[in-house]
Amino acid sequence: MLTVFFLVKFTKKPLRFFGLIGIATFSVGALIVLYLIADRLFFDIALGDRPALLLSSLLVVLGVQIFALGLVGEIIIFTHAKDIKEYTIEKILN
């Protein structure tokens, strides 16, 4: 069901799908990084033994990669789908 929804909705514009997921993932990771930086600067809490640092780094990198995947998909669609024509229904006959 998810595959059919994806193919119908995002075949021509994959950046809309992957960009949204990538930006959301990147944003969550960046917010965690900002929280950890504030903890380190203001409360002098060590970061080396906290798994949140690894998680936030992973989310930031994963967000960039997902966004880049959408961008590559957009480039592929742009180069290969130039010849594909969209057909619209002009008139419905009863």
Q: What is the pLDDT along the chain (94 residues), one digit of tens a residue?
A: 888 887 778 777 888 889 999 999 999 999 999 999 999 999 988 888 889 999 999 999 999 999 999 999 888 888 877 667 777 888 888 7
pTM for this predicted structure = 0.77
Phi-psi map region of 44: left, alpha, beta (phi>0 left; psi -120 to 50 alpha)? left
Angle between helices 14-43 and 2-10 (to 10 degrees): 100
Residue 69 is predicted with a pLDDT of 94
